[in-house]
Chain A
Amino acid sequence: MSEHVVSPKTYALILTALLVGTAVTVWVAQVDLGPWSLAVALTIAVIKATLVVLFFMHMKYSHRLNWIFFAAAILWLVLLISMTLVDVIANLAGN
Protein backbone atom coordinates (compact mmCIF):
# COMPACT_ATOMS: atom_id res chain seq x y z
CA MET A 1 0.00 0.00 0.00
CA SER A 2 1.03 3.62 -0.28
CA GLU A 3 3.49 4.97 2.27
CA HIS A 4 2.71 8.56 1.44
CA VAL A 5 1.01 10.53 4.22
CA VAL A 6 -1.43 13.11 2.88
CA SER A 7 -1.91 16.18 5.07
CA PRO A 8 -5.33 16.73 6.71
CA LYS A 9 -5.36 20.12 5.00
CA THR A 10 -5.45 18.42 1.60
CA TYR A 11 -8.26 16.14 2.76
CA ALA A 12 -10.25 19.14 4.01
CA LEU A 13 -9.71 20.90 0.68
CA ILE A 14 -10.98 17.83 -1.24
CA LEU A 15 -13.96 17.56 1.11
CA THR A 16 -14.85 21.20 0.39
CA ALA A 17 -14.49 20.67 -3.37
CA LEU A 18 -16.76 17.58 -3.21
CA LEU A 19 -19.45 19.42 -1.22
CA VAL A 20 -19.30 22.40 -3.61
CA GLY A 21 -19.57 19.98 -6.54
CA THR A 22 -22.69 18.44 -4.98
CA ALA A 23 -24.25 21.88 -4.47
CA VAL A 24 -23.45 22.90 -8.05
CA THR A 25 -24.91 19.72 -9.56
CA VAL A 26 -28.16 20.15 -7.57
CA TRP A 27 -28.33 23.81 -8.60
CA VAL A 28 -27.68 23.06 -12.30
CA ALA A 29 -30.43 20.41 -12.23
CA GLN A 30 -32.99 23.18 -11.59
CA VAL A 31 -31.95 24.90 -14.84
CA ASP A 32 -33.45 23.41 -17.98
CA LEU A 33 -30.50 22.55 -20.20
CA GLY A 34 -32.48 20.03 -22.27
CA PRO A 35 -30.33 17.12 -23.42
CA TRP A 36 -27.23 18.74 -21.86
CA SER A 37 -28.39 18.37 -18.26
CA LEU A 38 -27.43 14.68 -18.14
CA ALA A 39 -24.02 15.42 -19.68
CA VAL A 40 -23.34 18.23 -17.19
CA ALA A 41 -24.47 16.10 -14.21
CA LEU A 42 -22.27 13.19 -15.31
CA THR A 43 -19.27 15.45 -15.92
CA ILE A 44 -19.54 16.79 -12.36
CA ALA A 45 -19.88 13.21 -11.07
CA VAL A 46 -16.75 12.13 -12.96
CA ILE A 47 -14.79 15.08 -11.51
CA LYS A 48 -15.98 14.22 -7.98
CA ALA A 49 -15.13 10.53 -8.42
CA THR A 50 -11.68 11.46 -9.77
CA LEU A 51 -10.97 13.57 -6.67
CA VAL A 52 -12.01 10.69 -4.40
CA VAL A 53 -9.83 8.18 -6.29
CA LEU A 54 -6.76 10.44 -6.51
CA PHE A 55 -6.70 11.79 -2.96
CA PHE A 56 -8.96 9.83 -0.58
CA MET A 57 -7.89 6.52 -2.16
CA HIS A 58 -4.27 7.71 -2.53
CA MET A 59 -4.15 6.74 -6.20
CA LYS A 60 -2.04 9.83 -6.91
CA TYR A 61 0.73 8.39 -4.73
CA SER A 62 0.08 4.77 -5.56
CA HIS A 63 2.08 2.04 -7.27
CA ARG A 64 1.86 1.97 -11.12
CA LEU A 65 0.37 -1.52 -10.98
CA ASN A 66 -2.73 -0.10 -9.27
CA TRP A 67 -3.04 2.42 -12.09
CA ILE A 68 -3.10 -0.43 -14.61
CA PHE A 69 -5.84 -2.31 -12.73
CA PHE A 70 -7.83 0.87 -12.40
CA ALA A 71 -7.42 1.76 -16.09
CA ALA A 72 -8.53 -1.77 -17.03
CA ALA A 73 -11.69 -1.38 -14.94
CA ILE A 74 -12.53 1.94 -16.58
CA LEU A 75 -11.76 0.61 -20.07
CA TRP A 76 -14.11 -2.38 -19.70
CA LEU A 77 -16.79 -0.27 -18.07
CA VAL A 78 -16.70 2.23 -20.95
CA LEU A 79 -16.76 -0.65 -23.47
CA LEU A 80 -19.68 -2.32 -21.68
CA ILE A 81 -21.83 0.80 -21.55
CA SER A 82 -20.89 2.29 -24.93
CA MET A 83 -21.38 -0.98 -26.86
CA THR A 84 -24.73 -1.54 -25.12
CA LEU A 85 -25.83 1.97 -26.05
CA VAL A 86 -24.67 1.59 -29.67
CA ASP A 87 -26.98 -1.41 -29.93
CA VAL A 88 -29.89 0.38 -28.25
CA ILE A 89 -29.56 3.50 -30.42
CA ALA A 90 -29.19 1.45 -33.61
CA ASN A 91 -32.37 -0.44 -32.69
CA LEU A 92 -34.30 2.76 -31.98
CA ALA A 93 -33.11 4.29 -35.27
CA GLY A 94 -34.15 1.13 -37.14
CA ASN A 95 -37.70 1.16 -35.83
Chain B
Amino acid sequence: MWVFLVTEVMFFGGMFAGYATYRFRYPEAFLEGSGKLDLLLGAANTAVLILSSFTMAMAVHSAQTNRRRSLILFLILTMLLGSVFLGVKVVEYSDKFHHHLVPGPSFHVEGAVGPQVELFFSFYFALTGFHALHMIIGIGLLSVILWMSWRGRFSAEYYNPVEISGLYWHFVDIVWIFLFPLLYLIGHHRL
Protein backbone atom coordinates (compact mmCIF):
# COMPACT_ATOMS: atom_id res chain seq x y z
CA MET B 1 0.00 0.00 0.00
CA TRP B 2 2.80 2.39 0.82
CA VAL B 3 4.27 1.79 -2.65
CA PHE B 4 0.94 2.78 -4.20
CA LEU B 5 0.89 5.90 -2.03
CA VAL B 6 4.39 6.78 -3.28
CA THR B 7 3.03 6.79 -6.84
CA GLU B 8 0.17 8.97 -5.64
CA VAL B 9 2.65 11.43 -4.12
CA MET B 10 4.27 11.68 -7.55
CA PHE B 11 0.90 12.14 -9.26
CA PHE B 12 -0.05 15.10 -7.10
CA GLY B 13 3.60 16.23 -6.90
CA GLY B 14 3.66 17.02 -10.61
CA MET B 15 0.66 19.30 -10.26
CA PHE B 16 2.12 20.93 -7.16
CA ALA B 17 5.35 21.60 -9.09
CA GLY B 18 3.32 23.17 -11.90
CA TYR B 19 1.48 25.28 -9.37
CA ALA B 20 4.78 26.40 -7.78
CA THR B 21 6.19 27.36 -11.18
CA TYR B 22 3.37 29.75 -12.02
CA ARG B 23 3.00 30.91 -8.44
CA PHE B 24 6.56 32.27 -8.73
CA ARG B 25 6.01 33.67 -12.19
CA TYR B 26 2.74 35.49 -11.49
CA PRO B 27 2.61 36.11 -7.71
CA GLU B 28 0.13 39.02 -7.92
CA ALA B 29 -2.35 37.10 -10.08
CA PHE B 30 -2.18 34.10 -7.75
CA LEU B 31 -2.78 36.30 -4.71
CA GLU B 32 -5.76 37.89 -6.46
CA GLY B 33 -7.18 34.52 -7.51
CA SER B 34 -6.70 33.10 -4.01
CA GLY B 35 -8.55 36.09 -2.58
CA LYS B 36 -11.61 35.15 -4.66
CA LEU B 37 -11.98 31.80 -2.91
CA ASP B 38 -14.26 31.40 0.10
CA LEU B 39 -11.85 31.12 3.06
CA LEU B 40 -14.62 30.20 5.51
CA LEU B 41 -15.87 27.27 3.39
CA GLY B 42 -12.29 26.13 2.77
CA ALA B 43 -11.44 26.20 6.49
CA ALA B 44 -14.70 24.44 7.43
CA ASN B 45 -13.98 21.73 4.86
CA THR B 46 -10.46 21.31 6.25
CA ALA B 47 -11.95 20.69 9.71
CA VAL B 48 -14.52 18.24 8.26
CA LEU B 49 -11.81 16.25 6.50
CA ILE B 50 -9.56 16.16 9.59
CA LEU B 51 -12.53 14.94 11.62
CA SER B 52 -13.16 12.22 9.02
CA SER B 53 -9.53 11.10 9.34
CA PHE B 54 -10.09 10.79 13.09
CA THR B 55 -13.25 8.68 12.64
CA MET B 56 -11.35 6.54 10.09
CA ALA B 57 -8.55 5.97 12.62
CA MET B 58 -11.21 5.03 15.16
CA ALA B 59 -12.74 2.59 12.67
CA VAL B 60 -9.38 0.82 12.34
CA HIS B 61 -9.09 0.85 16.14
CA SER B 62 -12.53 -0.76 16.44
CA ALA B 63 -11.50 -3.51 14.03
CA GLN B 64 -8.28 -4.11 15.96
CA THR B 65 -10.21 -4.46 19.21
CA ASN B 66 -12.90 -6.71 17.73
CA ARG B 67 -15.82 -4.29 18.05
CA ARG B 68 -17.98 -4.80 14.98
CA ARG B 69 -20.75 -2.34 15.88
CA SER B 70 -18.42 0.59 16.49
CA LEU B 71 -16.44 -0.34 13.35
CA ILE B 72 -19.65 -0.02 11.30
CA LEU B 73 -20.60 3.21 13.08
CA PHE B 74 -17.21 4.87 12.49
CA LEU B 75 -17.15 3.77 8.84
CA ILE B 76 -20.58 5.35 8.28
CA LEU B 77 -19.46 8.53 10.09
CA THR B 78 -16.33 8.73 7.92
CA MET B 79 -18.36 8.34 4.73
CA LEU B 80 -20.87 10.95 5.93
CA LEU B 81 -18.10 13.48 6.67
CA GLY B 82 -16.56 12.75 3.27
CA SER B 83 -19.95 13.44 1.66
CA VAL B 84 -20.26 16.72 3.57
CA PHE B 85 -16.86 17.72 2.19
CA LEU B 86 -17.97 16.93 -1.38
CA GLY B 87 -21.27 18.76 -0.83
CA VAL B 88 -19.44 21.93 0.22
CA LYS B 89 -17.20 21.49 -2.83
CA VAL B 90 -20.29 21.41 -5.07
CA VAL B 91 -21.50 24.69 -3.50
CA GLU B 92 -18.08 26.26 -4.09
CA TYR B 93 -17.88 25.04 -7.69
CA SER B 94 -21.35 26.34 -8.58
CA ASP B 95 -20.41 29.67 -6.98
CA LYS B 96 -17.36 29.85 -9.29
CA PHE B 97 -19.59 29.19 -12.33
CA HIS B 98 -21.94 31.92 -11.13
CA HIS B 99 -19.11 34.47 -10.81
CA HIS B 100 -17.48 33.63 -14.18
CA LEU B 101 -14.39 32.21 -12.48
CA VAL B 102 -14.33 28.92 -14.40
CA PRO B 103 -11.52 28.93 -17.00
CA GLY B 104 -12.89 29.01 -20.53
CA PRO B 105 -14.85 31.38 -22.79
CA SER B 106 -17.05 32.65 -19.95
CA PHE B 107 -14.13 33.49 -17.63
CA HIS B 108 -14.10 37.14 -16.67
CA VAL B 109 -11.78 39.03 -14.30
CA GLU B 110 -11.08 42.76 -14.68
CA GLY B 111 -7.53 44.09 -14.87
CA ALA B 112 -4.24 43.42 -16.59
CA VAL B 113 -3.56 40.16 -14.78
CA GLY B 114 -6.96 38.67 -15.73
CA PRO B 115 -5.55 35.91 -17.97
CA GLN B 116 -3.09 34.92 -15.25
CA VAL B 117 -5.87 34.76 -12.66
CA GLU B 118 -7.53 32.35 -15.12
CA LEU B 119 -4.36 30.25 -14.89
CA PHE B 120 -4.71 30.21 -11.09
CA PHE B 121 -8.25 28.92 -11.46
CA SER B 122 -7.09 26.25 -13.91
CA PHE B 123 -4.80 24.97 -11.16
CA TYR B 124 -7.57 25.36 -8.60
CA PHE B 125 -9.96 23.18 -10.59
CA ALA B 126 -7.33 20.61 -11.63
CA LEU B 127 -5.99 20.17 -8.09
CA THR B 128 -9.30 20.21 -6.21
CA GLY B 129 -10.98 18.21 -9.00
CA PHE B 130 -8.47 15.36 -8.76
CA HIS B 131 -8.65 15.58 -4.98
CA ALA B 132 -12.48 15.31 -5.11
CA LEU B 133 -12.15 12.33 -7.48
CA HIS B 134 -9.92 10.64 -4.88
CA MET B 135 -12.56 11.38 -2.23
CA ILE B 136 -15.27 9.76 -4.38
CA ILE B 137 -13.07 6.69 -4.89
CA GLY B 138 -12.40 6.66 -1.13
CA ILE B 139 -16.11 6.67 -0.31
CA GLY B 140 -16.64 3.85 -2.83
CA LEU B 141 -13.81 1.89 -1.18
CA LEU B 142 -15.28 2.44 2.28
CA SER B 143 -18.73 1.28 1.17
CA VAL B 144 -17.17 -2.07 0.20
CA ILE B 145 -15.41 -2.20 3.58
CA LEU B 146 -18.69 -1.32 5.29
CA TRP B 147 -20.47 -4.15 3.49
CA MET B 148 -17.71 -6.59 4.48
CA SER B 149 -17.89 -5.37 8.10
CA TRP B 150 -21.62 -5.88 8.05
CA ARG B 151 -21.02 -9.48 7.01
CA GLY B 152 -18.63 -9.87 9.95
CA ARG B 153 -15.55 -10.41 7.79
CA PHE B 154 -13.13 -8.52 10.04
CA SER B 155 -11.67 -9.30 13.42
CA ALA B 156 -8.62 -8.49 15.53
CA GLU B 157 -6.84 -11.25 13.57
CA TYR B 158 -7.86 -10.03 10.11
CA TYR B 159 -8.47 -6.34 9.47
CA ASN B 160 -5.91 -5.57 6.74
CA PRO B 161 -8.45 -4.19 4.21
CA VAL B 162 -9.75 -1.75 6.85
CA GLU B 163 -6.23 -0.55 7.65
CA ILE B 164 -5.27 -0.19 3.97
CA SER B 165 -8.43 1.78 3.12
CA GLY B 166 -7.60 3.95 6.12
CA LEU B 167 -4.12 4.68 4.75
CA TYR B 168 -5.67 5.78 1.47
CA TRP B 169 -8.21 7.98 3.26
CA HIS B 170 -5.51 9.65 5.38
CA PHE B 171 -3.38 10.25 2.28
CA VAL B 172 -6.24 12.11 0.62
CA ASP B 173 -6.60 14.15 3.82
CA ILE B 174 -2.88 15.06 3.67
CA VAL B 175 -3.22 16.27 0.06
CA TRP B 176 -5.96 18.62 1.23
CA ILE B 177 -3.83 19.80 4.19
CA PHE B 178 -1.41 21.18 1.58
CA LEU B 179 -4.03 22.33 -0.94
CA PHE B 180 -5.84 24.45 1.64
CA PRO B 181 -3.00 26.92 2.42
CA LEU B 182 -1.68 26.95 -1.17
CA LEU B 183 -5.06 27.78 -2.70
CA TYR B 184 -7.10 29.53 -0.02
CA LEU B 185 -4.62 31.23 2.31
CA ILE B 186 -1.98 32.92 0.13
CA GLY B 187 -4.11 35.89 -0.87
CA HIS B 188 -6.57 36.46 1.89
CA HIS B 189 -4.64 39.05 3.87
CA ARG B 190 -4.69 41.33 0.81
CA LEU B 191 -8.47 41.58 0.88
Contact = CB atoms under 8 A, between A and B. Distances in A.
Task: Say whether A and B bind each other.
Answer: yes
Interface of A: 1-2, 5-6, 8, 11-12, 14-15, 18-19, 22, 25-26, 29-33, 37-38, 41-42, 44-45, 48-49, 52-53, 55-58, 66, 69-70, 72-74, 76-77, 80-81, 84-85, 88-89, 92
B6 A1 contact: no
Interface in B42-95: 43, 46-47, 50-51, 53-54, 56-58, 61, 64-65
Interface string B162-191: 011011001101100110111001101100
Q: Please give me the 8 A-B residue pairs with the lowest Cβ-Cβ distance, nearest first.
A: A41-B181, A73-B6, A29-B185, A15-B54, A73-B9, A69-B2, A84-B17, A18-B50
Given A41-B186, A70-B2, A76-B10, A25 B181 contact: yes
A31 B170 contact: no
Contacts of A38: 181, 186
Contacts of B106: none
B50 A92 contact: no
Nearest to B187: A29
A88 B24 contact: yes
Given A26-B39, A45-B178, A85-B21, A56 B53 contact: yes
Contacts of A14: 54
11 contacts: A1-B164, A5-B64, A30-B189, A41-B182, A45-B181, A53-B170, A55-B57, A57-B166, A57-B170, A73-B6, A88-B20
A76 to B, nearest CB: 7
Contacts of B24: 85, 88-89, 92
Contacts of B177: 45, 48-49, 52
B13 A81 contact: yes
A15 B50 contact: yes
Contact of A88 (B5, B21, B51, B171): B21
B167 A57 contact: yes
A77 B58 contact: no
Contacts of B10: 73, 76-77, 80
A22 B53 contact: no
B84 to A, nearest CB: 16
A85 B20 contact: yes
Contacts of B171: 57
Nearest to B190: A32
Interface in B136-178: 160, 163-164, 166-167, 170-171, 173-174, 177-178
A30 B174 contact: no
